[in-house]
Each structure stands twice: as C-alpha cells, then as structure tokens.
C-alpha cells in the first residue's frame, strides 16, 4: 500500500497536524466491486467526529480524495483490464457530478443547515443554493 505524497492537513477541530491512517474503501461499478487499501487523516488529539461523536476523528481532504481516485483508476485497470467506468451514483439527465467538495461545519452550523433544508438532502440543498446564487 503506497503512502500518498501529501502534506498533512491540520485537524479542523484542534489545529494539530493530522496523521495518516489506513482504511479500506470499495469502488462499485455496476456488478463489480474493487476493494482498495487506502488512507484517511486522523486527529492526533482528543477530537471526536462532530456528526457522530466517534473517536478518533477521521476525515478526508480534496488532495487525499484525488489521490485515492487516481489509485482506484489504476487498480481497476489492472484488475479488470479496462478503464474504470464512471460512477452511476445519482443517475440523472444532465452533466455528471465528478467534483467532490468536502465541507466541514460546526455542530451548530450543521443543525442550522438541517433546519432550513427541509426534505432535501444536504447535497441537494447546497446545489439549489448555488443555482439560486448564480
């Protein structure tokens, strides 16, 4: 398992430099599943996940997510002998969503978001807000 050549971010809770810890992710395309040894960032301090309360707090960032997706494309090609197909998650007409945007909120901000979003998912509420702003 290769370590990603990335500069560790700081924990959004305590500001300490995060540690790289192993994890397993699964990439699914139709009936195929590719398990992949990967990484996540972990708070070295006492921070708990602001949404679940789980300890230790583990998180991703855009650079790590891009690295992980590149590793998945390479592993998919080796295992299945073809390029990794695009995700079919959220199939809908129009352009495919391929850009991830991790957003960290405080518990108060998350509660406010949940209060105003109604029956929409958090993602759909944010997409609607972007459309209204544009």
> Could you name the CATH architecture of 8-92?
Roll (3.10)
Residue 1 has pLDDT above 90, yes or no: no
Sheet with 19-29: list strands edge to edge.
19-29, 32-42, 58-59
pLDDT tens for each residue of 25-54: 999 998 899 999 999 999 999 998 887 788
The Cα–Cα gap between 35 and 76 comes to 10
Residues with Cβ within 8 Å of residue 90, at least 6 apart in sequence:
97
Q: What is the mean pLDDT of residues 120-124?
A: 84
Q: Report the interhelical angle of 122-133 vs 107-116 (nearest 10°).
A: 80
Global pTM?
Answer: 0.64
Confidence at residue 91, expressed as pLDDT on a 0 to 100 scale: 64
Listed range (2-16, 66-80, 87-101) with the worst mean pLDDT: 87-101
- Higher-confidence residue: 104 or 51? 104
pLDDT in tens, 52-63: 788 899 999 989
- Residue ranges matching CATH 3.10.20 in the chain: 8-92
Is residue 87 over pLDDT 90? Answer: no
């Amino acid at each position: 398992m290769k370590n990603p050549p990335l500069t560790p971010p700081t924990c959004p809770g305590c500001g300490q430099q995060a540690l790289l810890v192993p994890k397993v992710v699964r990439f699914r395309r139709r009936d195929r599943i590719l398990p992949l040894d990967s990484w996540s960032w972990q708070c070295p301090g006492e921070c708990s996940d602001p949404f679940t309360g789980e300890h230790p707090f583990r998180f991703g960032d855009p650079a790590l997510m891009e690295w992980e997706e590149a590793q998945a494309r390479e592993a998919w090609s080796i295992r299945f002998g073809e390029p990794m197909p695009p995700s079919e998650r959220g199939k809908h007409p129009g352009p495919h969503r391929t850009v991830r945007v991790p957003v960290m909120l405080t518990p108060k901000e998350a509660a406010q978001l949940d209060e105003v979003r109604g029956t929409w998912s958090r993602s759909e509420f944010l997409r609607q807000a972007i459309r209204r702003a544009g």
